[in-house]
Amino acid sequence: MSAGGAFGGNRGAQPVPPEKGIFPLDHLHECDVEKKDYIACLKSSGYQSEKCRHLSKKYLQCRMERNLMAKQNLSELGFDE
């Protein structure tokens, strides 16, 4: 039997968080209205995301304002200013 961590992992290695792609969940439901509006728009538009971009932008802005994701220029995320 190995002296390492669970499933043979190395207990001494420090995990490094990814730069993008992982962000805190909205446990307090601070952006639920924006999320629900976006999902409703997707459903009503036949999942054509281009028609709902304005709501996607609102949702991302909500997350950034509440520190649920890193603040970033929206143009870097594919939105025009």
- Is residue 39 one of the residues assigned to a domain? yes
Q: Are 46 and 40 in contact (CB under 8 A)?
A: no
Check residue 25 and give its pLDDT: 82
**How many domains are contained in the chain?**
1
Check residue 8 and give its pLDDT: 59
Give the CA radius of gyration of the chain. Answer: 18
Rounded to an integer, what distance in angstroms lies between the CA atom of residue 65 and that of residue 4? 41
Check residue 41 and give its pLDDT: 97
- Is residue 51 one of the residues assigned to a domain? yes
- Predicted confidence pLDDT, tens digits, the chain (81 residues): 445 555 655 566 676 655 665 567 888 999 999 999 999 999 999 999 999 999 999 999 999 999 998 898 999 888 875
- Is residue 32 one of the residues assigned to a domain? yes
Domain hosting residue 38, numbered range: 24-69
